[in-house]
């Protein structure tokens, strides 16, 4: 077993998943504004530190993805945020892309940037304690999109990023997110997502990536959020498994889904069914941002000094996701 594979398994095995807390300051400002909290470095730290010191970190969270601001911050007790995360047994990770920009020659689509100077930034993050990284490519579905150009250029960037990350002895999360926005059917989401993921692996293999040392972070297969033909949770799990079975090489140890705008319960229930029906060798777990933090953020905004109430809310959510990653979640446990 390689060092990279060991890191992967430590992050996603045994009912653990990833807490995606890597919202950029712009995104975090919108999240905080939605609960009437001022977005200052202190408030962003306070909320995140509250989550990172929760009890459920030990059993449910194998890795935390941080944003550049947070990986450089210190707690009230003077220890660094990566140290706080490591003290619960979880592994600190870092978002290293610099965002999705308009794609030249197809300006309604996006290309994710951040390759310039990446090797040097990775060395700095390794020294700060990071052992895995994230890069998100983003694709929209419409009549003509995602275009071949967007599919190819984002896959190429994800592969070049992954090569630099593995060279720096860290595990790359490869995140091709096909957005749920639109009125397309689940069948179209299945076809487009499969094409996107297959292209990513074609490029990853070309760039000599050790596939046992990556984590794939895809979207689940859903009908577009404006489609009149929504599918059941059971169908989401079946189509998601179908997509991954035909698109992901067997050397990949596991998949950690993004929640992508699903509610907390939807994301939990769908993951639970994916695991109940899992007929692959892949570990299937979560790498949720909103679906792990939504209720906790609401609770925190009622009284930002009440650590216990926020942590209770977060612990419940994390435990439900952990059960779902083993196919052991139920409505009864959710409402207990």
Nearer to ligand 13P, 259 or 270 (CB): 259
What is the total count of residues that contact ligand 13P (CB under 6 A)?
10
Strand partners, 92: 64
Instruction: Confirm or reject binding of residue 290 to ligand 13P (CB under 6 A).
Output: yes
Instruction: Confirm or reject binding of residue 259 to ligand 13P (CB under 6 A).
Output: yes
Nearer to ligand 13P, 129 or 289 (CB): 289
Q: Is residue 217 flagged as an active site residue?
A: yes
Piece in contact with ligand 13P (CB under 6 A), picked from 1-9, 151-159, 199-207, 284-292: 284-292
Contacts 24+ apart (CB under 8 A), 96-103: 96/121, 96/122, 96/125, 96/133, 96/134, 96/135, 96/161, 96/165, 97/134, 97/135, 97/136, 97/161, 99/24, 100/136, 100/137, 100/138, 103/149, 103/150, 103/153
Piece in contact with ligand 13P (CB under 6 A), picked from 4-12, 71-79, 101-109, 288-296: 288-296
Instruction: Confirm or reject binding of residue 136 to ligand 13P (CB under 6 A).
Output: yes
157-176 positions binding ligand 13P, by CB under 6 A: 175
64-83 positions binding ligand 13P, by CB under 6 A: none
**89: which DSSP letter?**
T
Contacts of 50 (CB under 8 A, 6+ apart): 300, 307, 310, 311, 314
Shortest approach of ligand 13P to residue 288 CB, angstroms?
4
Among 62, 176, 182, 260, binds ligand 13P (CB under 6 A): 260
> Which residue's Cβ has the minimum distance to ligand 13P?
289
Among the options 217, 245, 246, 276, which is catalytic?
Answer: 217
Strand partners, 104: none
Are 155 and 200 spatial neighbours (Cβ–Cβ below 8 Å)?
Answer: yes
How far from chain centre, in Å, is Cα 143?
27
For residue 304, report the phi and psi dihedrals to the nearest 5 degrees.
Answer: -70, -10
Among 51, 243, 258, 323, binds ligand 13P (CB under 6 A): 258
**80: which DSSP letter?**
B
Nearer to ligand 13P, 182 or 332 (CB): 182
Cis peptide before 146 (omega within 30 of 0): yes
Of 11, 7, 87, whose CA–CA distance to 325 is shortest? 11
9-28 positions binding ligand 13P, by CB under 6 A: 20
Nearer to ligand 13P, 257 or 282 (CB): 257
Among 252, 256, 291, 297, binds ligand 13P (CB under 6 A): 291
Instruction: Confirm or reject binding of residue 218 to ligand 13P (CB under 6 A).
Output: no
Shortest approach of ligand 13P to residue 289 CB, angstroms?
3
What burial class does residue 26 get, using C-beta atoms within 10 Å of its C-beta: 0-12 exposed, 13-18 middle, 19+ buried?
A: exposed
List, by residue number, the catalytic residues: 217
Note the residues at the interface with ligand 13P (CB under 6 A).
20, 136, 175, 258-260, 288-291
């Amino acid at each position: 077993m390689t060092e990279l594979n060991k890191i992967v398994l430590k992050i996603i095995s045994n009912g653990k998943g990833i807490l995606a807390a890597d919202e950029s300051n712009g995104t975090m400002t919108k999240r905080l504004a939605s609960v009437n909290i001022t977005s200052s470095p202190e408030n962003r730290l306070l909320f995140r530190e509250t989550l990172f010191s929760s009890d459920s970190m030990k059993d449910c969270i194998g890795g935390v993805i941080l944003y550049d601001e947070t990986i450089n911050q210190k707690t009230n007790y003077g220890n660094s945020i990566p140290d706080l995360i490591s003290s619960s047994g979880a592994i600190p990770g870092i978002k290293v892309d610099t965002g999705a920009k308009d794609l030249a020659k197809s300006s309604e689509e996006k290309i994710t940037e951040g390759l310039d100077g990446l090797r040097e930034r990775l060395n700095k993050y390794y020294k700060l304690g990071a052992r895995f990284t994230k890069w998100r490519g983003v694709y929209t579905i419409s009549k003509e999109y995602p275009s071949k150009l967007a599919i190819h250029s984002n896959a190429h960037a994800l592969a070049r990023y992954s090569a630099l990350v593995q060279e720096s002895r860290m595990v790359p999360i490869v995140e091709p997110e096909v957005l749920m926005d639109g009125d397309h059917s689940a069948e179209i989401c299945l076809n487009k997502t499969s094409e996107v993921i297959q292209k990513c692996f074609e490029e990853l293999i070309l760039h000599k990536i050790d596939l046992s040392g990556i984590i794939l972070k895809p979207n689940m297969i859903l009908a577009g959020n404006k489609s009149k033909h929504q599918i059941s949770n059971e169908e989401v799990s079946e189509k998601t498994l179908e997509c991954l079975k035909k698109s992901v090489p067997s050397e990949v140890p596991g998949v950690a889904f993004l929640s992508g705008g699903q509610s907390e319960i939807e994301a939990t229930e769908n993951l639970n069914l994916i695991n109940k029906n899992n007929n692959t060798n892949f570990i299937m777990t979560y790498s949720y941002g909103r679906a792990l933090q939504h209720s906790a953020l609401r609770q925190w905004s009622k009284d930002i000094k009440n650590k216990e109430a926020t942590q209770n809310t977060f612990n419940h959510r994390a435990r439900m996701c952990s059960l779902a990653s083993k196919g052991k979640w139920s409505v009864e446990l959710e409402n207990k």
